[in-house]
A and B are shown apart, each in its own frame.
Chain A
Amino acid sequence: MALDKNQIAKRIAKEVKDGYYVNLGIGIPTLVANFVRTDISVEFQSENGVLGMGPFPFEGEEDADIINAGKQTITTLPGASFFDSAFSFGMIRSKKVDLTILGAMEVSENGDIANWKIPGKMVKGMGGAMDLVASAENIIVAMMHVNKAGESKVLKNCTLPLTGVGCVKKIVTELAVMDVTSKGFKLLERAPGVSVEEIIKATEGTLIVEGEIPEMVLD
């Protein structure tokens, strides 16, 4: 069975380690916060200018002045801080943020990512994505392996305008976990019940399959 969005988030949450400062993008990445182990210390950064983001506020306690990069009302946890947007990207560029998790429309086997524009159709802007992918050392992409028409989004070369080049390190899709290596996508894990053949079929880019590929462990 292919994973649903929450399961993708759950799998990515396993990559979040003790002591990490983490930036989560909009969509599936935001869900990752729900599944991070509670016995480790992690702080979430939101690029509009907050570190130490907490859960959504209780009803009636929303504050228009405290939001995340998705413009959602949030709370802060002990140890939190606010700063301006230039400072926020300063800590991103200077690699103080340990892990960036973001969504993608396409990735290519050399680690390029496209997620901000579909010419003629959708032009919403890149927000902070270009800054994040150009600076972060550790980038995990949460995405769907194929689009609604069944076409692969895990490609030899991206077809959409790029957000960043050669930056993606790991990809978690509804079908698989893959590393981006100098030789292509290296298959690490498959979703429970999904065969290696199905993943090969869904992947347009070079897929390296070595030995037995284990099933993901979600719990």
Chain B
Amino acid sequence: MQKAHFFIPLKSEKQTNNMITRKVNSVQEALTGITDNMTIMLGGFGLCGIPENSIAELVKMNVTNLTCISNNAGVDDFGLGLLLQKKQIKKMISSYVGENAEFERQMLSGELDVELTPQGTLAEKCRAAQHGIPAFFTPAGFGTEVAEGKETREFNGKMYVMEEAYKADFAIVKAWKGDEAGNLIFKGTARNFNSCMAGAAKITIAEVEELVPAGTLDPNQIHIPGIMVNRIFQGEKFEKRIEQRTVRQK
């Protein structure tokens, strides 16, 4: 009688873990390969959930002429504002850039190329890339300058604009917890664009507040599976700056 054959072969008698590891040991190692003129997606909404260790390292690396896809452009002295100050960014693709005076100056003087994109469209252009969808139709921006030069089409009596998936060299996302297999868990509204960008570029880098061994995180609770993440590392320190500290009295 033949035995049923359905098992995962082990690498050796002693090694029972066949996990593919995505762990790298430093931010320097994680960002290897990022060079001038590349297109980089960066997660975060405002300063919430930005990959701050990677941004600091990009400043040190002094790569220039970058095209950055990020919902916002940081503030003058934090987040992507740090790259703007050093004029490392050639083009920004964002939905809202209102909190950054240096940004506004560079944009109005023509030093910086800016492509403003509706927020939901920006998120979906990331998600489309993440999901292998080349383009999609959205009603956002129909009849406005955002739709200029783009294909429009009617579905069920309503007009839609065709938007294409982003093509990026690197995606840099930030998560709360991650494991060595690259699995990610986000916290609160810091999930924002991080979850949409993971796996949406040729190479995805995840920086996490806490990197744990595989098997530690509950597979039921994973937001992004490790297959979408090429390199994962634990950030050295997180400032997690608050942009608008609003409170009520007890």
Residues of A within 8 A of B (CB): 46-50, 55-74, 82-86, 88-89, 92-93, 112, 123-131, 134-135, 161-166
SS class of chain A's interface: helix, strand, loop or mixed? loop
- Chain B CB within 10 A, most for which of A50, A66, A71, A130: A130
- Given A84-B196, A85-B196, A93-B120; A62-B247 close (CB under 8 Å): yes
- Of A60, A71, A84, the contact of B195 (CB 8 Å cutoff): A84
In Å, the complex CA distance between A65 and B119 comes to 19
Contacts of B123 in A (CB 8 A): 84-86, 88-89
Does B207 reach chain A (CB closer than 8 Å)? no
Apart from A125-B95, A128-B119, A134-B142, 14 more pairs, CB < 8 Å: A49-B45, A58-B249, A62-B246, A65-B48, A65-B189, A67-B45, A67-B46, A82-B189, A83-B191, A85-B45, A85-B192, A125-B94, A125-B96, A135-B139
Query: Judging by beta carbons under 8 Å apart, are B47 and A65 in contact?
Result: no
Min CB–CB distance A27 → chain B (angstroms): 13
Q: How large is the interface on B (under 10, 10 to 19, 20 to 34, 35 or more residues)?
A: 35 or more
Closest partner residue, chain A, to B128 (CB atom): A86
B143 at the interface (CB under 8 A from A): yes
Q: Does B227 contact A (CB under 8 A)?
A: no
Closest chain-B Cβ to A118's Cβ sits at a distance in Å of: 12
Given the known inter-chain contacts A58-B248, A127-B119, please indicate yes or no for A86 contacting B127, CB distance below 8 A. Answer: yes
Within 8 A of A (CB), among B193-250: 193-196, 240-250
A64 to B240, Cβ gap below 8 A?
Answer: yes
- CB neighbours (8 Å) of A57 from chain B are 247-248
Residues of A within 8 A of B195 (CB): 84-86
Chain B 168-202: CB-based contact to A (< 8 A → 1; otherwise 0) = 00000000100000000011111111111000000
Q: How far is the CB of B112 from chain A (nearest CB, A)?
A: 11
Interface contact B97-A124, CB-CB below 8 Å: yes
Q: Are B48 and A71 in contact (CB under 8 A)?
A: yes
